[in-house]
A and B are shown apart, each in its own frame.
Chain A
Amino acid sequence: MRLFLTIYVLVIVATVSILGFRGSLTEKEPVEVFNDMDRQAKYKPQAENSFYANGQNDRLPPKLTVSRGNALEIKDVFSTEFTSSTSSEELVLSGKDANGEFSDYFPYPVDFELMQYGQESYNIFCMTCHGAAGDGNGVTKQYGILATSYHDDRLRDAPDGYIYDVITNGKGLMYGLKDRLSNEQRWAIVLYLRALQRSQSAPLESLSTTEKSELGL
């Protein structure tokens, strides 16, 4: 019996020391018992595919096709001869009017919902560098990213279309965000950016008496 108990304890100690405990960090891949069911031969997003030269499953949309509901730049998939039927479509896409100048016309109906959408998007994609107030004091400043402040006359006077174009295509060291933001989202950011500009340079006369007293003026 003593021999049995010794072996029993030894086996348990050996098992635990080999297999370890639950939740400990490991490089071991999770065990999959029915592998052919767990990993089926089908196309999954961003998966590997040895059929294509670059090993990627995902394909770029072919020319002259439009993907459904995605934020792709529609112009890229139309032929070069394509011109949009109305000038406002062109404006939504590029921020430019019929003469190719940046337009000051805002192509969406402005409401509180769009403003909130703009604020949410701004806080995700812009705040890190440009700061929550748009003054260029983002969290990345200490690592050497010098982001523009929106609070100077050059940008206060710039047309909406210009700001939209910078968000879309980038400027200087800033990369464009057209691959990640839909047209509407970019215009919403333009709207919120205008609100930020106004909040930082509002004349005293524009405030109501209650607002003034809240600020102690």
Chain B
Amino acid sequence: MANIFPKWVNTVPIKVIVALLLIKTAIVLGITYYFSPQYTRVGYAPTQPVAFSHEFHAGTLEIDCRYCHTFVEQSGHSNVPGTNVCMSCHSMVLKDDARLATVRQSYDSGEPIPWVRVHKVPDYVYFNHAVHVNRGISCVECHGKVDEMEVVYHAKQLSMGFCLECHRNPEDYIRPVEEVYNLDWERPTDPGAVKEIEEFVHDWGVNPPQSCSGCHR
């Protein structure tokens, strides 16, 4: 009796299984890699209406963050400065420079500059800047090394897992309050100093909420 199936059919099942496994692996890896804030948010660097360099102002000139973002210690919202803050120097420095034309125009007319917001948590997350910076959580923990950014980009994930990581282990992120605006501060490695820092959590009564209502209302 002649064979109903040719001989190559013998390997078909194993080939189909291998192909399916490969496809499945590719899809799983692809989703893990791309469906993550580490891909969708990190690296977002929109072009701003004025090419303001944090690297120069905060890095080279070492102007304190609060010179411009003045109310971060008092307010839940860290303010973007008005153009009068820009002009308090730029009425003298580069006062006719074309790159600052938008700033001068805004200062004269009162029309705000349409800055593109880089870091934004969803509207159902109620993040409060003041409570974090006043309890030893530095700008750098969420915004990265802004003083080294020519163009500000989204450096951290700002996902819920990212928040909870710190809310569960605040002692790994807390620092002396006077170092909050020093983005170059390095965590000490010797056990004595580490212990001293870990005690801030207890001494300042830091008790980061891990329940839903801590951040969602």
Contacts and interface: CB of A to CB of B under 8 A. Distances in A.
A173 B87 CA distance: 10
Contact of B43 (A19, A26, A174): A26
Q: Please indicate which of the listed interface residues A8, A26, A42, A173 has the most CB atoms of chain B within 10 Å of its own CB.
A: A26
B38 A22 contact: yes
B39 A55 contact: no
B93 A24 contact: no
A31 interface: yes
A15 B30 contact: yes
A39 B117 CA distance: 13
A163 B74 CA distance: 25
A175 B111 CA distance: 19
B44 A174 contact: no
Contacts of A128: 61, 63, 67
Interface string A1-24: 100100010011001000100111
Interface stretch (A86-94, A97-105, A139-147): A139-147
A143 B124 CA distance: 44
Given A23-B43, A27-B46, A27-B47, A124 B15 contact: no
Nearest to B39: A22
Instruction: Indicate the size class of the contact surface on chain A.
Output: 35 or more
A183 to B, nearest CB: 14
Contacts of B74: 69
Nearest to B95: A144
A202 interface: no
Contact of A31 (B40, B43, B84, B91): B40
B43 A24 contact: yes
A32 B124 CA distance: 13
B82 to A, nearest CB: 8
Interface stretch (B19-27, B134-142, B194-202): B19-27
A197 interface: no
Contacts of B88: 174-175
Contact of B26 (A12, A19, A124): A12
Contacts of A69: 74
Contacts of B66: 124
Contacts of A31: 40
Contact of B70 (A19, A39, A46, A180): A180
Contacts of B77: 44-46
A32 B75 CA distance: 27
A54 B112 contact: yes
Nearest to B80: A46
A129 B63 CA distance: 10
B169 interface: no
Contacts of B19: 1, 4, 8
14 contacts: A22-B38, A22-B42, A23-B42, A30-B40, A30-B44, A32-B122, A39-B123, A40-B123, A40-B124, A42-B123, A45-B75, A145-B92, A175-B88, A175-B91
Interface of B: 15, 19, 22-23, 26, 30, 33-34, 36-47, 61-64, 66-67, 70, 74-75, 77, 79-80, 82, 84-85, 87-89, 91-93, 110-112, 114, 122-124, 151, 153-154
